[in-house]
Amino acid sequence: MVTDDLVVAVRPSGRRTRITTRFVTQHTRRRRHTPATWLRGGGLSALVFALPAIFVFGWFSWLPIVKSVVMSFQKTNLIVTTWVGLANFHRVLADPLLPIAIRNTLWFALLALVFGFPVPLVAAVLMSEVRRWKGLYSVLAYLPVVIPPVVAVLLWKFFYTPGPRGVFNQLLGSVHLGPVLWLQDKAIVMPALVLEATWAAAGGTIIIYLAALTSVPAELYDAAEVDGASVWGKVWHVTMPHLRGVLFVTFILQILATAQVFNEPYLFTGGGPSNRTLTVLLLIYNYAFGTSLGGRYGEATALSVMLAVVLAILSVLYFRLTRRWSTS
By CB under 8 A, is residue 52 in contact with other proteins?
A: yes
Decide: is 185 part of the binding site for other proteins (CB under 8 A). yes
Provide the minimum distance between the beta carbon of 242 and other proteins in the complex, in angstroms, as a whole number: 42
Which of residues 147, 221, 273, 322 is near other proteins by CB under 8 A?
A: 273
Pick one of 38, 59, 158, 236: the residue that binds other proteins (CB under 8 A).
59
292 scored as a contact of other proteins (CB under 8 A) = yes
Which CB sits closer to other proteins, 123 or 196?
196
Among 68, 128, 138, 184, binds other proteins (CB under 8 A): 184
Instruction: Please state the separation of Cα 21 from the chain's center in Å.
Output: 47
Q: What's 75's DSSP letter?
A: E
Does the footprint of other proteins cover residue 77 (CB under 8 A)?
yes
Give CA–CA dist 25/260, Å, rounded.
51
Residues 51/57/63/66 CA torsion (nearest 10 deg) = -120
51 binds other proteins (CB under 8 A): yes
Q: Contact with other proteins (CB under 8 A): which of 15, 37, 40, 49?
A: 49
CA angle 64, 67, 73 (to 5 degrees): 145
C-alpha span between 13 and 107 (Å, rounded):
59
Instruction: Round to whole Å and give the CA distance between 278 and 275.
Output: 5
Q: Which of 88, 269, 279, 301 binds other proteins (CB under 8 A)?
A: 269
Per-residue burial over 145-157, b = 16 or more CB atoms within 10 Å of its CB, e = otherwise: beeebeebbeebb
Distance CA 124, CA 117 (A): 12
Among 14, 64, 99, 290, interactor with other proteins by CB under 8 A: 290
| Interface residue list for other proteins (CB under 8 A) | 45, 48-49, 51-52, 55-56, 59, 75-80, 82, 91, 96, 161-164, 181, 183-186, 268-275, 286, 288-296
